[in-house]
Chains A and B, each alone.
Chain A
Amino acid sequence: MKLLTKIYLAFGFIMLVFTFVTASYVLQTAVVQEDVEQAMVSSEILRLSQSMGKAIVDTETGLRGFQVSDNEAFLEPYYNGQEDYEFANKQLFELVKDPAQRRLLTSIDSTYKQWLHVFAIPSIKLQKEALRTEAGKAAFEDFRNNMIRAGAGRKIMSVIRGKISTFDNQEVLLKESRMQELKASLRFTDNLSIALTVVCFAVGLFIIQVLVKAIRERFRGIAAMATEIANGDLRARVTDERNDEITQVSKSLNVMAQRLEASFSNLKKINSELDQFAYVVSHDLKAPLRAINSLAEWIEEDLGSDLDQEIKHNLQLMRGRVFRMENLINGILDYSRIGRKELPKQHFSCFRLVEETIESLALPDSVSIEVSSTLPELNTERILLQQVFTNLISNAVKYNDKPHPVIQVGARELARSYEFWIADNGPGIGKEYHEKVFGIFQTMEARDTKESTGIGLAIVKKIVSEKGCSIRIESEEGMGSRFVFTWPKSADVVKASSPSAVLVV
């Protein structure tokens, strides 16, 4: 899976969980709202039930007033009571949903209707009739004795009151249970929100952890590989079994390392071929030279004292050329060897190095050399630096035209390197030759005048260039020469940082 897809999925999942949290909260709110509404309805039912009860009492009071007073004006509360009852009853039927309560309500209604039809309406009708006719009086008297005095109406009424009271009690219970429900659902909503948020947080943390681990470990692997390659281990590879963007980077890195390794081993092969070539040159080209030299010597020896001066001179010239040829071969071998072999690095004092170099050169007494004591201590390839000093100092002496050659060796510190100089009081070098003298086999004088291969400065320049530094000449004809070269301060080549120092996600 692509890494980006994974990240999208992870964040998508977290967002989904949060959406779920919000949705469930909204749903729970709806439940709570319903409960609140139910509680409010219960209160309304209780109020209506109260006014229904009051209406029934009104009708009864009106009826009783009329029965006592025979004044029809007292019937007003009776009629108003009925109207109020009908109104309240109708509203109650609309509001009450609980089946038991509905049954109770129906029963209240039918009992009330029974009271009206069995007691109230006949009572009023008979009483009105009694007011108009004597026969009616008897009938009413009869009704009064049988029904009113027997307490038939009161009995029904007490049944109604009982039922209303039951209804109210039930309704209060219902209301209380709804309040309980409301509280429960509020608590549930709270708990659910907290639980989901915690879950969401945990899942989010987990996903982040997984992602970070997946990415960090692999970047570490890549960084470690790059460090190994930078430190010279070209066989380093990074393994990545997944299939995403980082895998592509890893694959490219591996291909890069492989190519690097291939070209490096190719380079090694070429180098060893060159070594072989150098070996062949040194042995096979020198063998015939040595033979020529020996033979020339033997001819000279065998001819003995009666040798013609000219022949002798020619033989000597021949041996001189053979000698020069060997020097040239050695020179070109030395030149080709520079930079192809890893040399050991040492910590040493340059002052001591120059002193040793001067001693090994076995210079004539007329030469005076001043070596500055400010020469630094270095950690580098001693052999290479010694070669440079040897070549430059011996050149300064060899080509000096003064009876007392004076040579100065000094150094100063630069930002990243040291600058060394070797100055002499020799003939100097014209500006036009300042570049040319560093070319291979270039000499300032004919080889016959001064035996020289013209390889020394070429070697110096190659060594200095290999170290990433430069050499130049400050000189004018007749003013002496000053060879100035730089040398890196620290032998440490660019060293890759260790993986621990690499910033990771």
Chain B
Amino acid sequence: MSEKLVNILLVEDDEVDIMNVQRAFRKNAITNPLFVAHNGEEALEMLRSGMVPFPHIIILDINMPKMNGLEFLRELRADEEFKSASVFMMTTSNEDSDKINAYNLNVAGYILKPLSFEKFIASVATLNNYWKLCERP
């Protein structure tokens, strides 16, 4: 089975949240390569320098230093190469304005960070199914 796994770029500044995702991946036996950027600028650099090979999916937090998630997304959509990239928002913000802004920037999904880890694992499992579909040749 010549698997060509989807690369996952996690854009997140909180150390615990990164650990959270990593643990969730381990628990769900998700083997996709995971890249981590700590803010929007870093993520853009990683994408443009080709550090994250295609195909890829981006998981994006909103509140981050230097360049926040929505600013990053705006920049990304303006870029010919990445304007059709799959992006999932993953944030604590339940504000309508954030959701509307995100969907206006063509995101594939909006995951509200739940406090409980179990719920988060369920979300990641759903995401995993989605990737499996993407990986189908």
CA distance A294 to B62 in the complex (A): 20
User: Which residues of A have CB within 8 Å of B91?
Assistant: 283
Name the distance in Å between A17's Cβ and chain B's nearest Cβ. 71
Chain B 108-137 interface mask (CB, 8 Å, partner A; 1/0): 000001011100000000000000000000
- B84-126 CB contacts (< 8 Å) to partner A: 91-95, 113, 115-117
**A294–B63 touching, CB < 8 Å:** no
Q: How far is the CB of B24 from chain A (nearest CB, A)?
A: 10
- B94 near A282 (CB under 8 angstroms)? yes
CB distance from B67 to the nearest CB of A (A): 16
Instruction: Give chain A nearest CB distance to B84 CB in angstroms.
Output: 29
A290, B92: Cα distance in complex, Å: 10
Taking a contact as CB atoms closer than 8 A, the residue among A279, A284, A290, A323 that contacts B113 in the complex is A290
List, in ascending order, chain A residues with CB within 8 A of B20's CB: 294
B92 touches A294 (CB 8 A): no
In A283-310, the 8 Å CB interface with B consists of: 283-284, 286-287, 289-291, 293-295, 297-298
Does B23 count as interface, using CB distance less than 8 angstroms?
yes
B14 at the interface (CB under 8 A from A): yes
A129 interface contact, C-beta 8 A: no
For B94, give the chain A residue with the smallest CB separation.
A282
Closest A residue to B120 by CB, please name it: A294
Which residues of chain A are within 8 angstroms of B19 by Cβ–Cβ distance? 294, 298
| CB of A400, distance to nearest CB on chain B (Å) | 28
Partner of B16, one of A279, A282, A286, A294: A294
Q: Would B14 and A289 count as touching, CB distance under 8 A? A: no
Contact B115 A290 (CB under 8 A): yes
Q: Quick check: A291 and B117 within 8 Å, CB to CB?
A: no
What are the residues of chain A within 8 A of B113 when measuring CB–CB?
A: 290
- Residue pair A323, B23 in contact (C-beta under 8 Å): no
B residues within 8 A CB of A294?
Answer: 16, 19-20, 117
Interface status of A326 (Cβ within 8 A of chain B): yes
For the complex, what is the distance from the CA of A442 to the CA of B23, rounded to whole Å? 39
Contact A293 B63, beta carbon cutoff 8 Å: no
Q: Which residue in B23, B92, B95 is a CB contact (below 8 Å) of A286?
A: B92
Cα separation A284 to B113 with both chains bound (whole Å): 13
Are B16 and A291 touching (Cβ within 8 A)?
yes
Most buried by A among B16, B23, B113: B16
Q: Indicate whether A283 sits within 8 Å of B16 (C-beta atoms), given known contacts A289-B115, A290-B113.
A: no
**Residue B75 interfacial (CB < 8 Å):** no
Q: Is A283 touching B23 in the complex (CB atoms < 8 A)?
A: no
- State the CA gap A326–B115 with chains docked (Å): 9
What sequence of 0s and 1s flags, for each residue 263-283 of chain A, a beta carbon within 8 Å of any chain B beta carbon? 000000000000000010011
Shortest CB distance B112–A (Å): 11
A337 vs chain B, min Cβ distance (A): 11
Min CB–CB distance B99 → chain A (angstroms)? 13
The answer to whether B23 touches A287, judged by C-beta atoms less than 8 angstroms apart, is no
Nearest chain B residue, comparing its CB with the CB of A290 = B115
Cα separation A285 to B55 with both chains bound (whole Å): 35
Bound CA–CA A290/B14 (angstroms): 11
Residues of B at the A interface (CB closer than 8 Å) are 14, 16-17, 19-20, 23, 62-63, 91-95, 113, 115-117
Known: A282-B95, A284-B63, A322-B115. 5 other contacts (CB 8 A): A287-B17, A291-B14, A291-B16, A293-B117, A298-B19
Can you list 25 A-B contacts with CB-CB less than 8 angstroms, sorted by A residue number?
A: A279-B95, A282-B92, A282-B95, A283-B63, A283-B91, A283-B92, A286-B92, A286-B115, A287-B14, A287-B17, A287-B92, A289-B115, A290-B16, A290-B17, A291-B14, A291-B17, A293-B115, A293-B116, A293-B117, A294-B16, A294-B19, A294-B20, A298-B19, A298-B23, A326-B115
